[in-house]
Amino acid sequence: MNKKIGEEELAALSELTGIAKTIISKMHKLQLLDISGCKKLLIRNEFQVNIDNNIGRKGVIITLLADKYKISRSLVEHIIYNKNANTHLFCRKCGAKISKYISKKNNGNCNVCKST
């Protein structure tokens, strides 16, 4: 996701949160804002507003948001529907980080602990 946030996005964030734009601008200049989190909040809000106003079908709105924020369509879907890609879990025995596939395959254990 683009790590820059524009003035119009800061203004929209100000409206959404109820915090004055000057304060948000100062926080942005001091690098205190989580840019990715702010953009996710803006995308979710804009999607909901468009759905409520019957602007178009969900697919069309997702495509418009992807074009506006210069991100992929699937990333917009991940943001809107709170999908977590590449979920990682931990091994029951040793605590190593493993994929969901390995966890299901080995009943919650990593490949090393499975063989022992």
Q: Residue 65: pLDDT above 90?
A: yes
- 34 and 15 in a common domain: yes
User: How is residue 78 written in tokens?
Assistant: 């991940």
Residue at 110 is within a domain: yes
φ/ψ of residue 97, rounded to 5: -75, 125
* Domain annotation covers residue 100: yes
Q: In this structure, which long-range contacts are made by residues 106-115, counting pairs with CB atoms below 8 Å and at least 24 apart in sequence?
A: none
If asked whether residues 114 and 77 sit together in one domain, one would say: no
Between 38 and 1, residue with greater pLDDT: 38
In a domain, 2, yes or no: no
Residue-wise pLDDT for 14-32, tens only, equals 999 999 999 999 998 998 8
Domain count for the chain: 2
Alpha-helix residue ranges (DSSP H) falling in the chain: 7-17, 21-29, 35-52, 58-69, 73-81, 100-105, 111-115
Examine residue 90 and state whether it is found in any structural domain, yes or no. yes
Same-domain check for residues 33 and 77? yes
Averaged pLDDT for residues 69-91:
85
Range of the domain at 58: 7-81
Same domain, 113 and 66: no
Query: pLDDT, tens digit, for every residue of 74-84?
Result: 999 999 988 76
Q: Are residues 76 and 115 in the same domain?
A: no
